[in-house]
A and B are shown apart, each in its own frame.
Chain A
Amino acid sequence: MMRYARLFGLFLKASFLVELEYRANFAARAVVSLFWAGVTLTGAGVFYSHAETIGGWTFNEALVIIGLFTFMSGFIQTFLQPNVQRIIDMIRLGTLDFVLTKPVNSQFMASLRHAQVFSMVDMLLGAVIVIWACMRLGYAPPVLSLAQFALMLLMAVLIVYSIWMVIATLAFWLVKVNNMAELFTSVYDTGRFPVTTFDGLIRLVLTFVIPIAFITTFPAQSVLGRLDTETVLMAVAMGGGMFGFSSLFWRYAVRSYSSASS
């Protein structure tokens, strides 16, 4: 465990050094992040100019969701996207062999090797929006809510990680998985809105099939101290289950890669 933590630290350091090589990236990242945060907030302003509540959430409450959405986008871009892209490239170029011949867990090595450190700007921005929303609401979350929120956030991270890993793993069989990633990004866009905005079947899909609700809406409810215990338990089951599945799937893929290629 300690060894893996140290390795992860080393990976982060190396990634940071890479990013420093391309300093202009930082400015560009920051500008793009601010721009999109602006678009999202303006959008919310336009929607709420025509309705008091959307999906039962007021503007200020919805800001918490927008903050979480921005935060998780940052997380995806920092840790998941670069690695998934590289896994796809490694499978195509055959350099995955270097990962598979290393004496460390291959999923760990493949999925956490790189980080786009500058994209943490979005994580920061997201956190700021959440805090700002709480201030506008005049609300200070009690410690218990914060603890629950931490748990929910961890589960959200596990869920997002697992979804991206499954997509990356599909690259063992499908040629252009980038489109799948693109598709997820599109579905993820629903995370800007409370899941209650959507009706019937769509809400069901966004809760249980592609569980975007567990990534933004439920953690936001948790901060606001309005999440029931059942949903928390469901989140734990969902996070654990999906992470387990993604690991098994990766292992299965590596096995079949070993038996089906030359």
Chain B
Amino acid sequence: MVRKYLALMRLSWGLSLEYRAEGFIWMMTNLLNVIMLLVWLSISKAGPVNGFAQADFIAYYMIGLLVRQLTAAWTSWELSFAISEGRLSTHLLRPIHPIHQEIAINWSEKAMRLTILLPVVATVLLMTPGVRLNVTPPAFVAFVASVAGAWALYFLADYCVGILAFWTTQATAFTNILWGLKIALGGILAPIQMFPPALQAALDWLPFKYMLAFSSEIALGQLGDERVLFGLAVQWGWVAALWLLMRWLWKLGVRSYSAVGA
């Protein structure tokens, strides 16, 4: 299995190097984080907003950028095109679930992006006075666990949306909405603390903030141990639920796909 992954990853590394400057441009498409940061900096010029000083916004959005890059997934596009164009059949013939190839591609792209992004984020964080980060070992472990959970959560959600292409030609619209929910409620548009309290309470139980903001909050040391453990439990609960949902949808989808004889 490991070897299969390495082979698959090597392949897509070659692909991303083929087109120069592309990696850089992909990074830039995460400008939204920077834009929102600038907007919040403009709002917080007069003084801290809900406990966020300017340095906190910078730290929040920089860590957010990192988390977003680490957890990005775009498989549903590929999957829904493969399904609607009938290309999936070749994948189904292989003795490996197509999701593994997608995971390999996803990871190798990440490797590429991280090598560019990590130095940038580190430099900004070091150069900004007043940045407060929680760098204790337990916090670090929790951060890594939450990032892994965030990746699995969004990847699976995205994959489920892609599977919808078995039944609808409009799967990309759902992809778009899922992505929008992550932007709006996951902590990119605004840190969760900026929302009205009722919405914040609801978001504790919904999956969206665990796709992104949760990890940033851990890194910034904004959460007590109890909140961290609670969050991780909810997050991985969602991961498990989505995993089951994915398996179930996939089974149904492949059945209806074969039935049509595509």
Establish whether A and B are touching in the complex (CB under 8 Å). Answer: yes
Using Cβ atoms and an 8 Å threshold, which residues of chain B touch A54? Answer: 39, 42-43
Known contacts A39-B184, A46-B189, A47-B43; A182/B38 CB under 8 A: no
B176 interface contact, C-beta 8 A: yes
User: Contact: B169 with A22, CB < 8 Å?
Assistant: yes
User: Contact: A187 with B31, CB < 8 Å?
Assistant: yes
Interface stretch, picked from A27-35, A123-131, A231-239, is: A27-35
Scan A26-61; emit 1 where CB is below 8 A from any B CB, else 0.
Answer: 011101100110010011001101110011000000
Using Cβ atoms and an 8 Å threshold, which residues of chain A touch B173? Answer: 28-29, 31-32
B168 interface neighbour in A24, A32, A36, Cβ under 8 Å: A24
Using Cβ atoms and an 8 Å threshold, which residues of chain B touch A51? Answer: 43, 46, 49
User: Contact: A186 with B190, CB < 8 Å?
Assistant: no
CB-contacts of A179-218 with B (<8 A) = 179-180, 182-183, 185-187, 189-190, 193, 197-199, 202
A39 interface neighbour in B19, B30, B31, B183, Cβ under 8 Å: B183
| Cα distance, A174 to B18, chains bound together (Å) | 11
Known contacts A46-B190, A197-B42; A186/B184 CB under 8 A: no
Min distance, Cβ B235 to any Cβ of chain A, angstroms: 23
Known contacts A186-B32, A190-B35; A28/B180 CB under 8 A: no
B25 interface contact, C-beta 8 A: yes
Using Cβ atoms and an 8 Å threshold, which residues of chain B touch A31? Answer: 173, 177
User: Contact: A189 with B32, CB < 8 Å?
Assistant: yes
B22 interface neighbour in A55, A179, A189, A202, Cβ under 8 Å: A179
Scan B149-191; emit 1 where CB is below 8 A from any A CB, else 0.
Answer: 0000000000000000000111001001100100110000110
| Cα distance, A31 to B177, chains bound together (Å) | 9
User: Contact: B29 with A186, CB < 8 Å?
Assistant: yes
User: Nearest B residue to A45 by beta-carbon distance?
Assistant: B196
Using Cβ atoms and an 8 Å threshold, which residues of chain A touch B180? Answer: 35-36, 39
B169 interface neighbour in A24, A46, A186, A193, Cβ under 8 Å: A24
B245 interface contact, C-beta 8 A: no
Using Cβ atoms and an 8 Å threshold, which residues of chain B touch A49? Answer: 194, 196
Min distance, Cβ A69 to any Cβ of chain B, angstroms: 13
User: Contact: A35 with B38, CB < 8 Å?
Assistant: no
User: Contact: A32 with B169, CB < 8 Å?
Assistant: no
B195 interface contact, C-beta 8 A: yes
User: Contact: A175 with B19, CB < 8 Å?
Assistant: yes
A95 interface contact, C-beta 8 A: no
B31 interface neighbour in A29, A35, A189, A199, Cβ under 8 Å: A189
Using Cβ atoms and an 8 Å threshold, which residues of chain A touch B21? Answer: 174
| Cα distance, A197 to B183, chains bound together (Å) | 20
B50 interface contact, C-beta 8 A: yes
Min distance, Cβ B16 to any Cβ of chain A, angstroms: 10
A176 interface contact, C-beta 8 A: yes
User: Nearest B residue to A190 by beta-carbon distance?
Assistant: B35
A25 interface contact, C-beta 8 A: yes
| Cα distance, A54 to B46, chains bound together (Å) | 11
User: Contact: A42 with B177, CB < 8 Å?
Assistant: no
Using Cβ atoms and an 8 Å threshold, which residues of chain A touch B206? Answer: none
B28 interface contact, C-beta 8 A: yes
Scan A161-180; emit 1 where CB is below 8 A from any B CB, else 0.
Answer: 00000000000001110011
B26 interface contact, C-beta 8 A: yes
User: Nearest B residue to A39 by beta-carbon distance?
Assistant: B184
User: Nearest B residue to A193 by beta-carbon distance?
Assistant: B39
B49 interface neighbour in A28, A50, A180, Cβ under 8 Å: A50
User: Contact: B31 with A197, CB < 8 Å?
Assistant: no
User: Contact: B170 with A183, CB < 8 Å?
Assistant: no
User: Contact: A28 with B31, CB < 8 Å?
Assistant: no
Scan B108-123; emit 1 where CB is below 8 A from any A CB, else 0.
Answer: 0000000000000000
User: Contact: B31 with A198, CB < 8 Å?
Assistant: no
User: Contact: B39 with A42, CB < 8 Å?
Assistant: no
User: Nearest B residue to A203 by beta-carbon distance?
Assistant: B38
Using Cβ atoms and an 8 Å threshold, which residues of chain A touch B28? Answer: 183, 186
Min distance, Cβ B151 to any Cβ of chain A, angstroms: 21
User: Contact: A197 with B39, CB < 8 Å?
Assistant: yes
Known: A32-B176, A174-B21. 18 other contacts (CB 8 A): A24-B168, A25-B170, A31-B177, A32-B177, A36-B180, A39-B189, A46-B189, A46-B195, A50-B43, A51-B43, A51-B49, A176-B22, A179-B25, A183-B31, A186-B29, A186-B31, A187-B31, A189-B31
Closest 3 CB pairs of A and B: A28-B173, A186-B31, A28-B170
